[in-house]
Structure 1
């Protein structure tokens, strides 16, 4: 595929980020490419342009609902996605989610190419830049795969599902469309290759470290149903010394009690801003979810109750109402607990679950095996409560449908009619936007 629109848009974005819309004419690539290693660092460390996640997984999820006035404030494609349309865009629309991920992939490819071709940089510079590039390329392709591809190695889904795989910054190169097996192979290879290149820790969680790469490997392995790998990667993060926030020490009188870049944050990413979707006066939490929290659960205090039946969420790790999509230590403990239980190691699963709940529930009494009838279900319930508004619910719904055959029976009331999500595996894959398919 030549002159791919997404990569053209990426170049235009990098060169003319203040312009509205996208340029039709391909810019001169020689204008774009910096020369110094520090300039490449600046290109990939710009978290306002790189550390984004797609918004559609949040729209598709059952973390929230919008009341009629909030729904009317959505853009047309957002209204379509809210009703689980897997092809929500008009043929001429440029979807920002898709574009943002390929912009990051393009930047990563520019860095990989520069590392290979530059003879003057030190080994330290090359390793640092290559590690970052591989990490962000893997993360971006993973988030695209969650949206558009089936989960490989599990249940078969009818239809052809592919994404353009780009490993070069050359806009004149033919780009091959690949399926889930190949894409996930590339994702895992990139992450594994980044591990020896990244620093153990970084000053800010906006920049990738070896620990955040391990955490992302744990998240991806759980998504793929590779529970031994998920347990192993999560255990390495646990052994690194990361600590949990103690919710008993949070100032719940604050509008947003959890501070930005708190010690629990391993990797900071956030949902791309797209209108009012996550705003406190639009995204409401359903009473069925609220009912899962008992009175001693400190996580319940992260909801601002509008009335007894609905609430707004104020517990984001962004320090405001923006949706945190990164990885925090609570998720790692939950990955470790779930993977351990699925592998038949209940005692290990309980240790991780207890470690989490001790910091989340007042007067918590440690759980023992005979206290829980179905430990896997309890772990999944605690995951549901801990990771609400984290941008991970759609991936969880999808993987649990693939792994366990679960049907979530999700529905929304819209314009006086009930809209139901079918739960069919085919409906967990969003269609590639038509504007991109036109260039295939």
Structure 2
């Protein structure tokens, strides 16, 4: 639905409202003939900066990084399950029975393409090249790459299975009459890599953890290459960040303070990129923390299997609290997100330096196992966890397990299972009918939303198999 735009003409004074507001149906309706196009509205550096802030604001949407995207990465896997006492949020994903009409799926699709639209307006601005315009466009390239990366991971087969499979529509310019079909998976990844190269070239300034820096773009590229199974390029990109970014790893000593700090970071500690909220711009009770915290909805809990992976000395275990919920005692509550409704502060970690070390470790297993041990133990040593000393296939498995422990509740586990083409094997915390979800299950890929099929005739016959 967000792809087939009617003639959307924007009054200059309404540009900020368009960029900062939610993606709703009335946004695509015809506006007065006296209006101007986005290209005409973005006529100065301050205009471009306002547009960029709007693009970043769209990451905060409830069905994007504001909550749904990080939640799906854990509740569709074996990390998070729905408490027997719940508010019925994400029930269909806990049961693995979501459909083409699912509201969260539609919200995710719309939110990602809204971000792409806003990024496109910035990238296609005709303003002359300056340090600032290059910076803003570079960040817009990175935002567009980020959105396509998450769309392609959830709505298409993994690159590691079929680069020629149907991906998602590629939209690079505003066209009111466009009805683009789905591009190939490989074409989408080519666009993502191209955008991240442009971002890396154009970005020269570091602002804070809520905006893309040069090395946040390079870190995202390392993650993209890893997802493609391109270990050589993943390693190269990851090492660029590790060796040249100036970012440092969070340690066991400062872990609690790190997760309790809910304001943008300027100290280059750990967080390469996050979506942040404040007292004036937030999701209220629908923010990410409330889906886990007992002072909010408290719907989702940590699986027993995940919690048991942490050794007694592992500082990450202190991020969990054992509680009684749904009549069950001793269940583990995720405590990575302390912000709750009332504080109006919350954030979603999108990319952390610890993940970059784990990417470097996984990408080094085959060619340089000594390096692989060095990079993975850079994490275990900073968590007071047991060091890894394995080799070969077991070393690879230990790194994947370390990713599960380190990145739990940050939306990564399911995506790892997808790229590795592994079955989801769940514990008895989950409903009996949804404990074994083989890789071949058609619901391992989200459906193209019905609203999109209705709006775009060229995608109507391109629904994912099974739906």
TM-score tier (shorter):
0.7 to 0.9
Q: Partners in 2 of 1:282 and 1:9 — Cα distance?
A: 42
Q: How does 1:37-186 map to 2 (within 5 A)?
A: 37-46=45-54, 47-50=56-59, 52-53=64-65, 54-55=68-69, 56-70=72-86, 73-75=87-89, 78-85=90-97, 87=99, 89=101, 95-114=106-125, 117-118=126-127, 121-152=128-159, 154-156=160-162, 161-186=166-191
> The residue matched to 1:266 in structure 2 has which SS?
strand
Distance change >3 Å, CA 361–CA 167, structure 1 → 2: same
Q: Partners in 2 of 1:3 and 1:244 — Cα distance?
A: 40
Q: Partners in 1 of 2:300 and 2:197 — Cα distance?
A: 37
> The residue matched to 2:195 in structure 1 has which SS?
helix
Which residue of structure 1 lines up, in the alignment, with residue 360 of structure 2?
336
Which residue of structure 2 lines up, in the alignment, with residue 301 of structure 1?
318
Distance change >3 Å, CA 293–CA 16, structure 1 → 2: closer
> The residue matched to 2:272 in structure 1 has which SS?
strand
Q: Partners in 2 of 1:19 and 1:229 — Cα distance?
A: 36
Deviation digits for residues 417-439 of structure 1 (CA, Å, limit 9, x no counterpart): 53234223443211100110112
CA contact (8 A) 1:258 1:316 kept: no
Q: CA deviation at 1:290?
A: 0.8
CA contact (8 A) 1:260 1:318 kept: no
CA contact (8 A) 2:73 2:410 kept: no
Aligned length: 417
> The residue matched to 1:305 in structure 2 has which SS?
strand
Q: Partners in 1 of 2:7 and 2:379 — Cα distance?
A: 42
CA contact (8 A) 2:305 2:427 kept: no
Q: Partners in 2 of 1:45 and 1:238 — Cα distance?
A: 28
Q: CA deviation at 1:391?
A: 1.0
Match of 1:359 among 382, 388, 394: 382
CA contact (8 A) 2:248 2:270 kept: yes
Q: CA deviation at 1:82?
A: 2.6
Q: CA deviation at 1:325?
A: 4.0
CA contact (8 A) 1:59 1:81 kept: yes
Deviation digits for residues 388-434 of structure 1 (CA, Å, limit 9, x no counterpart): 00111121110111xxxx323236767x7532342234432111001
Q: How does 1:370-409 map to 2 (within 5 A)?
A: 374-401=394-421, 406-409=422-425
Using the TM superposition, name which of 276-285 and 228-237 deviates more.
276-285
Using the TM superposition, name which of 97-106 and 13-22 deviates more.
13-22
TM-score, length of structure 1 as denominator length:
0.83
Which residue of structure 1 lines up, in the alignment, with residue 371 of structure 2?
348
Structure 2 gaps, min length 5: 457-467
> The residue matched to 2:174 in structure 1 has which SS?
coil
CA contact (8 A) 1:12 1:27 kept: no
Q: CA deviation at 1:44?
A: 1.4
> The residue matched to 1:268 in structure 2 has which SS?
strand
> The residue matched to 2:357 in structure 1 has which SS?
helix
Q: Partners in 2 of 1:225 and 1:356 — Cα distance?
A: 22
Q: CA deviation at 1:162?
A: 3.6
CA contact (8 A) 2:78 2:424 kept: no
CA contact (8 A) 2:20 2:58 kept: no
CA contact (8 A) 2:170 2:180 kept: yes
CA contact (8 A) 2:425 2:436 kept: yes
Distance change >3 Å, CA 95–CA 14, structure 1 → 2: farther
Q: CA deviation at 1:316?
A: 3.9
Q: CA deviation at 1:246?
A: 1.5
Q: Partners in 2 of 1:6 and 1:409 — Cα distance?
A: 45
Q: Partners in 1 of 2:53 and 2:149 — Cα distance?
A: 19
CA contact (8 A) 2:45 2:132 kept: yes
Q: Partners in 2 of 1:439 and 1:173 — Cα distance?
A: 11
Distance change >3 Å, CA 212–CA 317, structure 1 → 2: farther
Q: CA deviation at 1:163?
A: 1.8
1:266 aligns with 2:266: no
TM-score, length of structure 2 as denominator length:
0.78
Match of 2:308 among 291, 300, 304: 291
Q: CA deviation at 1:102?
A: 0.6
Q: CA deviation at 1:13?
A: 10
CA contact (8 A) 1:245 1:264 kept: yes
